[in-house]
Structure 1
Amino acid sequence: MYMKRLASVLLVLCSVSAFAKAPPAKAPDREVWITLGSDALEHVNAAFANAGHAAPSMRGQTADVTALRVRESQLNLISRMMHEKLNRCGGFIYHDTEAAALTALDPSVAAKAAKATAVTYSLDNASTVNALQAGVQELAIRWVIDHLSSYATRYYTSTTGVASANWLKGHWESLVPPARSDVTVELFNHASWAQPSVILTITGTTLSEEVVVLGGHLDSTSNGSTAPGADDDASGIATLTEVIRVAMLQNYRPERTVKFMAYAAEEVGLRGSSAIATKYAADAVDVVGVLQLDMTNYNLRSNIDVALVSDRTNAAQNTFVTNLIDTYQPELEWTTTTCGYACSDHASWTSAGFAASMPFEAPLSASNPYIHTVNDTLHNSGGDARHALKFAKLAAAYVAELAKGGVTIDETPPEVAITAPAAGSTVAGVTTVTASATDASGVNRVEFFVDGELKATDTTAPYAFDWDTAAVPNGSHIVTARAVDLVGVAATSAGVSVTVSNATSTAGFDSVLRAPRCASASNACDSGTLLNGRGGFVGPEVNAPNTIKNSCRDGLSGAHLVDQSNERIVVSTLDGTNFAPGKLVRVDATVFAYNKLNDKLDLFYAADANNPVWQLITTMPVPSKGLHTLSATYTLPEGDAAQAVRAVFRNRGSTAPCVEGNYNDHDDLIFAAQPSALLR
């Protein structure tokens, strides 16, 4: 329901197609001034020399900060260098005049006291924090990341950069109920470039003159090609958007005024945030705290959930943020990290004299290697928004405990019922399960369960999923549905009992073990077409990687039926009786080979599919390029009722149950065997 409404809003508001290949407009080639960390100067000079430019003109320097005069067209070169050499996003501050750049060299400027109320940080608004955190949803965050990263680029001078800002303004407006006259959404236009910043304001009830700011940057960088910017920083904007969505649904009314900001032109010197922070300082706006979210969704190289930037941020507010984590998200691991001069928009607020903090997705040494490239995609951040969800909960806690205030929510649970199959019916093969769900606040999603195990989730009515009954044993099973409304209140339907009766030995996909499975006792088990292809791109392979509990990933290079892949596995008893310990069984593995000299098939078995310990059956070469079915036998061991075989088709490498490689394919097949205890 929610996603349908978003889709309709998108159609009305997007005047420029998000998929249009719109190159960034060329920046005006005029002289500008920047300040950057003095440790970056040698890298800037080297980048300029490699690009055939004369070295930039130094206008002033301290031990920590250097002021340079450059051409505006060179800013993107500096931005890319900062990422490649120093792992900084941005890494410099743009100044309109040389005088402003020289003023920024004075360390007392950044350390000066802001004209803001000194707040006493307290954690005493748990009911509001818990309500807001309960409402945030990964799927909603993912949807916004997906949309923003579908623009060819969000570069600050591009037409698609402007279109993305206009879309975001419209989307934020669509989240605001008509009765909320205390909420406004506006564009903050910048005279020197096309892309505006976007600001949503919730006016405070009792302390409206005191302002809490949460921000991220809307733009992406560009080197003349596609710049999706999914993590940098569509993830931060999507995280903020989710806090807005839940705040509006739960009728959150803060005591202090809260402003959510999507800054333009961060990648070229923090220009959007600097313009806003400078104006707020000049206008003596009472900003009591700033939270920056720049990159929240990549966490594939670290076991740290949150890394709090310790340099050029406010120590007292940083302690407040870590206290929020310890109190409301104690399951998270956090640490501190440094990111250097002007690494994101929090530096603009710090330089203007305001208290700012920046929780980051990982320590800088383990941050996203794909940013500022065409590969900064949602897929390369894991394909979902589960990590960003942690930051949405943290941002919700920050708002609730710094801006205070409360929520009023609809606590009535949804009405939900299974509508098919009918109670008492017999089902086989792939069976469609449907459910009805309604709620006054709207339905966020419906989850389908079989015998208490989650099988599928649907976010749009009519709610349904295709249940592959071959993945469960023949016999009686209970089907239920759980509906969750838009404020996080859930209800579960009455169970519907059905009888599964499958005569086939073709496997179904087991959504818990994440691999093909024949759940009913038989003398053969066939993966059918479930293993066709390799990984999420070559084919693609359905439900990739099809290894138990996603324990081993596939290579993603090449094309289907051109390069290496497993295509099918069949396990069968030689005497035609059901699988049981001591039986001699044959494994037939169909593979597509690319190179007979380097391609090898390793076959393994595991006596317990739930806790597999892989034992080698054999290693086999291929006779030639193309499709081949290779066979081997082994004696079925004593073990669990669910046993498994694994096929590892590899290009070079050594024999192992899991072998990393761009062209390697790993697939498991689970089958039902009579437990040894039943034979005694």
Structure 2
Amino acid sequence: MSLKGLAPAALLLWGAAPAFAHVPATPRTAQLTEDRQLWITLATDSLDAVQETLRGPGMTSPAPTRTKNGVSMMQVRESQLFRISELMHEKFKRCAGFLAHETEAEASEAMEKAGAPEQPQKALVEYTLNNADTANALIADLQEPNIYDTIVKLSSYTTRYYKSTTGAQAALWLKEHWASLASGRPEVTVEEFVHTNYNQRSIILTIPGSTKPSEVVVVGGHLDSTVGSSGSNPNTASPGADDDASGIASITEVIRTALAQNYRPERTVKFIGYAAEEAGLLGSQDIAKWHKTQAINVVGVLQLDMTNYKGSTNYDVGVITDYTNAAQNTFLRSLITTYIPALKIVDTKCNYGCSDHASWNNQGFPASFPFEATFNDSNKFIHSVNDTLAQSGNTALHAAKFSRVTAAYVAELAKGTVNGTVVDTVPPATVLTSPASGATLLGSVTLTANATDNVGVSKVEFYVDNVLKGTDTTAPYSFVWDTASTPNGAHVLSTKAFDARQNVGVSPAVNVTVNNPSTVAEYNATLKAPTCATVNAKCDSGGLLVGRGTRGPNGGSEPNTPNTLQNSCADQSKGTYHVDESNDRIVVSTVDGLPFAPGKAVKIEATVWAYASSPSSDKLDLYYAADATAPVWISLGTLTPSAGQVQTLTKNYTLPSGGALQAVRARFRYGGSTSSTACGQGEYDDHDDLVFAVTR
């Protein structure tokens, strides 16, 4: 934060622990649209590539540079930061890989400070491991589902780019969420750190120290995301599930358990979600400089940036050794081997300015950065639309490891105790009571489960092949599963039970077989129309109706033309396939998902190809027949496409009493009028029937 952008009250921090004053946002339209001149510092090995990309089309030629200590500085425009960030990721696998500065003097100072990458400064405190009760209590209460939920929420924003509307909204959501976790602790503050020139805020939650409030421990991660390789528009979708929703989620779960267990640190602890990291560590630089200017005694900084992608089976945590503090790194390794001995550690480097720890390191504060992998093995999907939870197996199991590391770091560096509430660490027990193991299932099936807990069950989740399908919060716990939505074959059912402390119990697996009759029609040579001969809840013509008459795909005809009962309505063949009209598919399904039967409400979905030049001139007439073996066609009305080319038009009706096989007909025409015989003679008419079995 630039000091000129704050009211004097906003510069308060702890002498004896006053907090940041809230600074209301002020209009910045001119600042937000201005393409400012900035300076950046970057590793010299990337300088040539950055200069080359800035000579590209639409870019301003790069200004002269200076180099020292393996770091170079150059002047750029703010609009170029996005291109530089993209290059750093694509070519050098760095995030962000540079620092942005308001002035040449600030850039020069940063270059001078670079020096040896690993800073061997003396520790500002004595590193001891003597607070096991607190560390183990915090670690034991951490719950992976909470971390997962936070990643899901943050990655649901279209982008968290620092100048986007949704980026600002994501920051405010984080503030509200952290504030909800702190609702029972009035001394805990959650505040916005307001930056100039962009509206995304950094968010800071502070737990004041009990005996050493002027000594501050910082745990942070960046809340923004960027599109990088997705394209040149910074508002392109960038879910940023790993980079860095995962780090924020790992931190958030430590906040939750610390506050829930009434954790009282000796030293003040600040948890920070940084804005604008991807644009050159802008947010964390403001915050680190502010602490330096105010002479705040920050005794340790931990950075979490990307925690949920396990890049190797050989190790779990990569300790970044460049531009970090050697003494605190040793302390970090000791914490892991003492409190989470199952985690395997490897040393790695991420080069200059790769994350927010560099901002604190530049100001002389001891910083460490535990990372999800070595940089060579880290997530290759960051800075793209594919940075989703799917890349981590749709779990937060790896990120949970970094919550444990963070909990141990806070407990042993800030010290303090947990008290006031007995911590419930006992998970519920749950078992799936129906269906039985080995059962063969079809249609809609009710899954039932029992769940018990020493305190109380808050919810039970039902899973099919480890995919959540339904939730029940009240006993007896049940969920109706439509097996028709799942492929036939072997499947595994299970449940998870949760208590109020988010302890999780998992049921034994139940193996079942799904064997639903096919919902895709086959051509019936006797009826001469696509037919679903077995009763089901859905009948789909699939690809049997594509085209019209002799105007079909690949220069051929519509399969089995005309696809009407007993060839009762001929198709016309004027025009061109998928330029002119055709009805290509019919799907009939029950609204409630149960099998076809008289009195059931059903929906017809007809997929047509409408004439692009005048789609409103095209008409779809729909009919039904209660007995497909002796059809009497009843009109369901006429529908009009709203646009050209592919359109799906729908109509509901109630199945009548009738034969074991019923039918619907679609007549798609250009102009003309309805027909009492359900057949037409227009030059572009396409008639198609679909027959389906009904319970009698």
TM-score interval, smaller chain: 0.5 to 0.7
Q: Quick check: 1:334 aligned with 2:348?
A: no
| Aligned-residue offset at 1:447 | 7.6
Decide whether the 8 Å contact of 2:71 with 2:114 is kept in 1. no
Q: In structure 1, what residue type is equivalent to 2:499?
A: D
Q: What pairs with 1:422-501 in structure 2 (closer than 5 Å)?
A: 430-435=445-450, 443=457, 446=460, 461-462=473-474, 463-464=477-478, 484-487=498-501
Decide whether the 8 Å contact of 1:311 with 1:340 is kept in 2. yes
Q: Quick check: 1:40 aligned with 2:46?
A: yes
| Aligned-residue offset at 1:299 | 1.7
**Residues 70 and 140 of structure 1: CA distance in aligned 2, closer, same or farther (over 3 Å):** same
- Between the aligned partners of 1:59 and 1:455, the Cα distance in structure 2 is 53
Partner residue in 1 for 2:104:
98
Q: Quick check: 1:144 aligned with 2:158?
A: no
Decide whether the 8 Å contact of 1:416 with 1:481 is kept in 2. no
Q: Quick check: 1:216 aligned with 2:221?
A: yes
- Between the aligned partners of 2:328 and 2:472, the Cα distance in structure 1 is 41
Partner residue in 1 for 2:395:
384
| Aligned-residue offset at 1:132 | 1.3
| Aligned-residue offset at 1:240 | 0.6
Decide whether the 8 Å contact of 1:109 with 1:351 is kept in 2. no
| Aligned-residue offset at 1:60 | 2.0
- Between the aligned partners of 1:531 and 1:210, the Cα distance in structure 2 is 67
Decide whether the 8 Å contact of 2:471 with 2:479 is kept in 1. no
**Residues 56 and 205 of structure 1: CA distance in aligned 2, closer, same or farther (over 3 Å):** same
Partner residue in 1 for 2:79:
73
Decide whether the 8 Å contact of 1:231 with 1:378 is kept in 2. yes
**Residues 35 and 487 of structure 1: CA distance in aligned 2, closer, same or farther (over 3 Å):** same
**Residues 91 and 113 of structure 1: CA distance in aligned 2, closer, same or farther (over 3 Å):** closer
SS of 2:248's equivalent in the other structure is: helix
| Aligned-residue offset at 1:113 | 9.7
**Residues 323 and 528 of structure 1: CA distance in aligned 2, closer, same or farther (over 3 Å):** farther
Q: In structure 2, what residue type is equivalent to 1:485?
A: D
SS of 2:215's equivalent in the other structure is: strand
Partner residue in 2 for 1:307:
318
SS of 2:54's equivalent in the other structure is: helix
Q: Which deviates more, 300-309 or 329-338? A: 300-309
- Between the aligned partners of 1:413 and 1:348, the Cα distance in structure 2 is 38
Decide whether the 8 Å contact of 2:427 with 2:504 is kept in 1. no
Partner residue in 2 for 1:365:
376
**Residues 435 and 272 of structure 1: CA distance in aligned 2, closer, same or farther (over 3 Å):** same
What runs of 5+ residues in structure 1 fail to find an aligned partner?
1-24, 474-478, 494-509, 519-525, 533-559, 563-593, 595-680
Residue 287 of structure 1, aligned match among 298, 319, 328 = 298
Q: What pairs with 1:134-533 in structure 2 (closer than 5 Å)?
A: 134-178=140-184, 180-222=185-227, 223-224=232-233, 225-300=236-311, 303-408=314-419, 409-411=421-423, 430-435=445-450, 443=457, 446=460, 461-462=473-474, 463-464=477-478, 484-487=498-501, 511=509, 528=516
Task: Give the alignment's TM-score, normalised by structure 2.
Answer: 0.61
**CA offsets, 1:526-573, max 9 Å, x none?**
7557999xxxxxxxxxxxxxxxxxxxxxxxxxxx978xxxxxxxxxxx
Q: In structure 1, what residue type is equivalent to 2:56?
A: N
Q: In structure 2, what residue type is equivalent to 1:432?
A: L
Q: In structure 2, what residue type is equivalent to 1:323?
A: S
- Between the aligned partners of 2:376 and 2:32, the Cα distance in structure 1 is 33
| Aligned-residue offset at 1:49 | 2.5
SS of 2:64's equivalent in the other structure is: strand
Partner residue in 2 for 1:636:
none
| Aligned-residue offset at 1:112 | 12
SS of 2:87's equivalent in the other structure is: helix
Decide whether the 8 Å contact of 2:69 with 2:115 is kept in 1. no
Q: In structure 2, what residue type is equivalent to 1:142?
A: Y
**CA offsets, 1:68-105, max 9 Å, x none?**
00011000100110011111001111111111111222
| Aligned-residue offset at 1:443 | 5.0
Q: Quick check: 1:64 aligned with 2:79?
A: no
**Residues 561 and 106 of structure 1: CA distance in aligned 2, closer, same or farther (over 3 Å):** farther
Q: In structure 1, what residue type is equivalent to 2:50?
A: V
| Aligned-residue offset at 1:238 | 0.8
- Between the aligned partners of 1:284 and 1:344, the Cα distance in structure 2 is 23
**Residues 183 and 69 of structure 1: CA distance in aligned 2, closer, same or farther (over 3 Å):** same
- Between the aligned partners of 1:142 and 1:227, the Cα distance in structure 2 is 18
Decide whether the 8 Å contact of 2:458 with 2:500 is kept in 1. yes
Task: Give the alignment's TM-score, normalised by structure 1.
Answer: 0.63
- Between the aligned partners of 1:111 and 1:168, the Cα distance in structure 2 is 33
Q: In structure 2, what residue type is equivalent to 1:380?
A: Q
| Aligned-residue offset at 1:432 | 2.6
- Between the aligned partners of 1:416 and 1:250, the Cα distance in structure 2 is 20
Q: Which deviates more, 403-412 or 115-124? A: 115-124
| Aligned-residue offset at 1:327 | 1.4
**Residues 189 and 114 of structure 1: CA distance in aligned 2, closer, same or farther (over 3 Å):** farther
| Aligned-residue offset at 1:163 | 0.5
| Aligned-residue offset at 1:38 | 0.7
Q: In structure 1, what residue type is equivalent to 2:386?
A: N
Decide whether the 8 Å contact of 1:115 with 1:284 is kept in 2. no
SS of 2:111's equivalent in the other structure is: coil
Q: In structure 1, what residue type is equivalent to 2:304?
A: L
| Aligned-residue offset at 1:305 | 1.0
Question: Pairwise CA RMSD of aligned residues?
Answer: 4.0
| Aligned-residue offset at 1:303 | 3.3
SS of 2:213's equivalent in the other structure is: strand
SS of 1:260's equivalent in the other structure is: strand
SS of 1:105's equivalent in the other structure is: helix
- Between the aligned partners of 2:56 and 2:206, the Cα distance in structure 1 is 45
| Aligned-residue offset at 1:381 | 2.6
Q: In structure 1, what residue type is equivalent to 2:36?
A: R
